[in-house]
Amino acid sequence: MNLILLFALVLCCRMTAARSYWSDKPSVIATDEINDGDRVQVSCTLPVDYRGGQCRLYRGNSKTPFKVMIATDYICIFHMSSEELLGNLPVGSLVRLCCDYKLQEYTSVKSDHSVIVVWGSRPSPALSVSHRFVSPDDSVEVTCTPPMDQHAYKCSFLRGQFYIKEGSCNMNLTGRQLGLWEKPALLLPIDLGCTYSPRHDLYITSKSSNRHMVFVVDVQRVSSSVDCKVSVRKDQLEAFKDTNWTSVGENGNSATITVTNSTLALNETCSYVERQN
């Protein structure tokens, strides 16, 4: 091959490769999720300075932008409410966003999509439990009841802010399930609550229910019989059907739990004091 032709071919390939590293595609930056009623910031980042041109924001596969602003820098920042973000979509929807930019007769390619979930909420359900003390292998019946005008396709039970299990709004949970990923102990307090989801096709969940204090008692962890005292808030104390409960282990040792509303000394055997809010 002619050396001049070979040199020209190599140069052409290198120029083509160099151009392939540059792209006129912008990018969308946004948070992953917001709650209905919140405001959100969405950024469209431009690869070059197109001051005076238009930044255009699109929802889904729409060919018509729903937000337009004049670029003043390498980045356009759109501020909007959840209602503006949703448009005609219902609360609980997953919104796909992309952007492009336009300057005079030039229009860039569109960015990749970014996704924002707009969470919706419903009124709180009511939680009930069959009993307040349970051993690791026994179970307690828990029921999450939505308000009369609400329908639930599933319910979720949680310890504090940590979800334990979801599915039916009435189920039996063992002591081990209640204490999932907690360090095993003779007396394990569980702050139990629940939420419900009214629709399977939308990101909607209820506000949390009332809370119930449940105790997982593992008597197998004692080498001799013990008496335990538990202090709870007055409103929780009234919900306990029995203020005394005894569990007997396979080795014959027992743990007797007494529920009170008085202050306990820190050195008392097997004691628990609920934080007073």
Q: What is the mean pLDDT of residues 163-191?
A: 91
pLDDT at 274: 53
Tell whether the torsion through CA atoms of 115, 155, 161 and 125 is positive or negative: positive
Burial class (CB in 10 A: 0-12, 13-18, 19+), 274: middle
Q: How many domains does the chain have?
A: 2
Q: Are residues 157 and 31 in the same domain?
A: no
Q: Are residues 139 and 237 in the same domain?
A: yes
In the predicted model, is pLDDT for residue 259 greater than 90? no
* Residue 14: inside a domain: no
Q: Which of 11-15, 46-50, 124-128, 223-227 has the lowest mean pLDDT?
A: 11-15
Q: How far apart are CA 9 and CA 196, in angstroms?
A: 66
Q: What is the mean pLDDT of residues 59-86?
A: 94
Q: Are residues 150 and 166 in the same domain?
A: yes
Q: Are residues 138 and 112 in the same domain?
A: no
Q: How far apart are CA 117 and CA 128, in angstroms?
A: 31
Q: How far apart are CA 14 and CA 4, in angstroms?
A: 15
Q: Are residues 110 and 128 in the same domain?
A: no
pLDDT-based confidence at residue 10 (cuts at 50, 70, 90): very low
Q: How far apart are CA 204 and CA 208, in angstroms?
A: 13
Q: Are residues 90 and 52 in the same domain?
A: yes
Q: How far apart are CA 23 and CA 163, in angstroms?
A: 44
Q: Are residues 135 and 238 in the same domain?
A: yes
pLDDT higher at 64 or 22: 64
Which range has the top average pLDDT, 36-45, 49-58, 173-182?
Answer: 36-45
Structural domain boundaries, residue 91: 26-120
pLDDT higher at 198 or 2: 198
Q: Are residues 129 and 108 in the same domain?
A: no
Q: How far apart are CA 203 and CA 205, in angstroms?
A: 7
Q: Are residues 143 and 224 in the same domain?
A: yes
Q: What is the mean pLDDT of residues 246-255?
A: 76
Strand partners, 171: 142
Whole-model pTM: value is: 0.75
* Residue 243: inside a domain: yes
Q: Are residues 191 and 107 in the same domain?
A: no
